[in-house]
Amino acid sequence: MKLGVNIDHVAVLREARRVNDPDILNALHVACANGADQITIHLREDRRHIQDIDAKNIMMHSQLPVNLECSINKDILNIVSDLRPHRATLVPEKREEVTTEGGLDVFTYEDKISYAIEQLHDYIIPVSLFVDPTIEAIEKSKELGAEMVELHTGSFANIFAMLYSSLPHTNHSVKELELPRHELAIRLEKSLQELQTAATHAKKIGLEVAAGHGLNYHNVSYMMSIEEITELNIGQSIIARSIFTGLADAVKEMKRLTTR
């Protein structure tokens, strides 16, 4: 299992005060030195965390492959094309969202996604599509020409958190999941089966399979049982843990948990 460490949240903290502290390049080097297999960043249209200069510097200084997440916005695609990352992962993006809330709608935006993939391929950049774990989305991703899919694990992570963490007792409780524990347990099992089925089908039709969103030190073990998933991209939980342990130890511990 490859571990992609997403360092966006280091930039979130930096942008809160609009100073260069913490330095994103320091985070890059610590992650590279302590078990990361790749670096993942998301260059958002609103530049709420990673900036253009960050993306350029990370590409220049990273000792590891860089997975650059981006929308299908043409201006963003032009920047990504010039940077030529190891891989581009196309994700949905809304200005008002706190974080990516679901998989890419590969049907509604089929033409735009197809154009984006063609442009990236022209620059010899492999493409992954961040999609919900459905057979339909997997097949459409293959049809559009992607080499890889990253399965959106947000639904699984939310159910897990409502079942096994203090989330229900906070202001961030997921209202639609305020259900009896036995119902949450059934939904958790169903979400895991959906991920397994999607991963199995993706591999069967020749796609590489990654997973990400909401994965943390408590729930990541569930992903390890899905053999078809060969890469996990994890960010917020690693950066959150680093406040208490330091980034080096936070990355090392996640790498330990994701080693088969």
Residues annotated catalytic, as ranges: 42, 69, 213
Strands 127-131 and 66-70: unpaired
**Three-class secondary structure of residue 205 per DSSP:** coil
Tokens of 122: 């022209």
**Alpha helices of the chain — where are they, by DSSP H?**
8-17, 24-33, 52-61, 74-83, 110-122, 135-144, 154-164, 181-204, 220-224, 236-245, 247-257
Radius of gyration of the chain measured on its C-alpha atoms: 18
- Alpha carbon of residue 205 to chain centroid: 22
Within 10 Å of residue 11's Cβ, how many Cβ atoms? 22
Q: Which residues of 21-50 are buried (b: 16+ CB within 10 A; e: fewer)?
A: ebebbebbebbbebbbbbbbbbbbeeeebb
The neighbour count for residue 78, using CB atoms within 10 Å, is 11
Nearest to 238 by CA among 5, 62, 3: 5
End-to-end CA distance of the chain: 7
Indicate the residue type of 56: K
